[in-house]
Amino acid sequence: MSKELSDLIARAEGVLARVESLLPPPAPDPDWPKVTAARWRKRSGRGYLQAIAHPHAIRLDELVAVDRQKETIDLNTRQFVAGLPANNVLLTGSRGTGKSSLVKAMLVKHAGKGLRLIEVDKADLVDLPDIAERVAAQPFRFVIFCDDLTFDAGEPGYKALKVMLDGSIAGASANVVVYATSNRRHLLPEYFIEEVHPGESVEEKISLSERFGLWISFYPFSQEDYLAAVAAWLAHFGVKPADGAKEGEARTREALQWALQRGSRSGRAAWQFAKSYAGAQGLRSRRGR
C-alpha cells in the first residue's frame, strides 16, 4: 500500500472517529425482566428498542366472534413460549375484526411465561436481522409484530421479510417469530399482477404470504356478532345491563346506527360505540349527583 493511500485512510478514520464522538450514545436495550413490549425506533440513523411503559392490555375473553382464531393463535403461542416448534403467523381479513387485538391479547396472557413483543413498522423491516440479533441471547421469547402489512412492488422491506421468514444463511433465531396482520391475503396490491410476467403473477403474489407457516383468516361480523361485541365492551367499561326491554331496544338501535354510519359491523366499531355510550352515560350520572 502506498504512503499516500495509507495517509488518506488514516485521515478518513480520524474524521469518522470525530463524527462518531458527536453522535449520541446508543440507547440501552429495554430491561426485559421488567418490560414486556417495545418498539423499534431510529435516532440519528441508529436503530434502538424503545420500551413501551403501558402496553395496550386486551384479554382474550374481551374478543368475541373469533373463537376459532383465538384457539389457533393461542396454541401456536403456547408452543412457542414452551420452547417447542412454532410458526410465523399471518392474520388476514376484514378491517376491525380483531387481528391486532388478538396479537396483543397473546402478550397479556403469556407475558408471565416469558413472552415479549416488539412492534416494527413496515419501513423498518430492513432492520429485522439486527433486531433478531439484539435479542438472540435473551432468555425470553419474542414476537416481532408487524401491523397492517402491505407492500408495493420493489419495497426493500418485502425482501427483508422474505429472508427473515425463510432464514438466512445464519439461520432464524429460535426465540423469535413474526406475527403480521394485513387486510390482504397476499400482501401485494392487485395491480401488481399487471407489473410482472403473466406466468409469474400468481407465484409472486403468494411468494411472501406462503412463507408464513400459519394463516388465520377473519371475516365480517354478522349483526349478532356485532351486538355480542357491543355487550362485551359495554361490560368492560362498567355499563350495567339494560333496565328493561325498552332501554335494551334503544341501546341496540343506537349500536346499529353507529355501525351503519361507519359502514362496518366489526369489533372495532363495537369498541368505539361502547366507549362513546359509556362516556355519555358517565357524564349523565355526574350531572345527576
Higher-scoring residue by pLDDT: 51, 148: 51
pLDDT tens digit sequence for 92-127: 988 888 999 999 999 999 999 999 999 999 889 889
Question: 174 near 166, Cβ under 8 Å?
Answer: no
Read off the DSSP letter of residue 147. Answer: -
Which contiguous run of DSSP H or E holds residue 203?
helix 201-206
Give the burial string for 277-287 (b: 16+ CB within 10 Å, else e): bbeeeeeeeee
177 pLDDT higher than 80: yes
Strand 89-93 to 46-51 pairing: unpaired
pLDDT class of 203 with cuts at 50, 70, 90:
low
d(CA 84, CA 63): 26
Least confident of 19-23, 141-145, 193-197, 225-229: 193-197
Mean pLDDT, to the nearest integer, of 161-172?
67
pLDDT recorded at residue 186: 63
pLDDT recorded at residue 168: 53
Mean pLDDT, to the nearest integer, of 23-45?
84
Higher-scoring residue by pLDDT: 88, 191: 88
What is the overall mean pLDDT for the chain?
Answer: 84
pLDDT recorded at residue 172: 61
Least confident of 159-168, 178-187, 207-216: 159-168
Backbone angles phi, psi at 243, to 5 degrees: -90, 85
Mean pLDDT, to the nearest integer, of 197-212?
62
DSSP secondary structure letters along 6-24: HHHHHHHHHHHHHHHHHSP
- Number of neighbours of residue 251 by Cβ within 10 angstroms: 19
pLDDT recorded at residue 22: 54
- Number of neighbours of residue 112 by Cβ within 10 angstroms: 9
pLDDT recorded at residue 150: 78
Residue among 178, 174, 183, 142 at smallest CA distance from 160: 178
204 pLDDT higher than 60: no
d(CA 212, CA 215): 7
pLDDT class of 46 with cuts at 50, 70, 90:
confident
pLDDT recorded at residue 193: 45
pLDDT recorded at residue 169: 46
pLDDT tens digit sequence for 143-165: 999 998 877 656 777 777 887 88
pLDDT class of 139 with cuts at 50, 70, 90:
very high
pLDDT recorded at residue 184: 72
